[in-house]
Amino acid sequence: MAALITNDFEIPNNIAQGIFKKAQAGSALALLSGARPQKFGTSTNWVLTAAPKAEIVGEGAKKSPTPTAYAPKTVTPVKLQVTMRFSQEVQWADEDVQIGVLQDLSENAGIALGRALDLIGIHKMNPLSGETSELLKEGIGDTTKAATLTDDKYDVAVEAAAGLIINAGYTPTGIALDPALSFGIATMRDTTGRRMYPELGYGIGVTNLEGMKAAVSDTISAKGEAKKATNLLGIVGQFDAFRWGVQRSVGAHLIEFGDPDGLGDLQRQNQIALRAEVVYGVGIMDLDAFAKIVKASA
């Protein structure tokens, strides 16, 4: 049978599409905001900061100018890569084995790239190191609007966060919840012992909360990646103010020689490496469209 994994191979379309689906499903920001078409490279978006107002014009009367204001916002390209090593014998295996390898790449790369969108969009974090990247200038976590959770009053904190963005002139269209916040709300009970939010489960399959689109992911707190605790539990926002898209689709290529990831020479270890890469375009139109829910300081 013909070898699938060669020097110039491309991931089969059905597998490549799976990477994108997993990437979007693994990201709270992707679920709440939706991707937008992007052109490659840094670009400038002009954002309306003062809404125009219509004017009543009398018969034969002069028309007045419509006051508007725009501000430039930058969409920054962020390149991400996932490099995975396999035994060199994979190249000699039949197509079924090679397809299994590509599916494994799809599964794991999709999860990694999906989580990465949240980590860079919220925390400005390099997912591999768990530290803030100097390449990223702005994240949703930079918003100065914050509601503090006190005495396990989860619903009060959510309401306070929603009020902050409403007062800023925005509409709370969505909420991104850390599992700790989602579980806390789900287990709240009234004086009779009944659950106050029975529509919420105990897992991550939450889609709506108080009329807001909802998504649950531990990328909100970045508990598994962050070197330093973020204390972030949730984000309430008008999520169309977060712009993202794929500027360059996931491509994969075979590496047979050298040391592509610092783990030693491939030939010496009888290995090959498969690398998948994507370029996201990420931009935040206005941080005032978002409010954080944070833990009380220790």
pTM of the model: 0.76
Domain spans, the chain: 13-41+72-295
What pLDDT does residue 158 have? 95
Q: Furthest-apart CA pair in the chain: how many Å? A: 86
Q: Which fold has domain 13-41+72-295?
A: hypothetical protein PF0899 fold (3.30.2320)
Question: Regarding predicted confidence, which is higher, 50 or 100?
Answer: 100
Q: Determine the pLDDT at residue 205.
A: 72
pLDDT, residue 2, reads: 45
Q: What percent of the chain clears pLDDT 70, i.e. is strictly above it?
A: 73
Tell me what the pLDDT averaged over the chain comes to: 79
Q: What pLDDT band is residue 77 in, cutting at 50, 70 and 90? A: confident
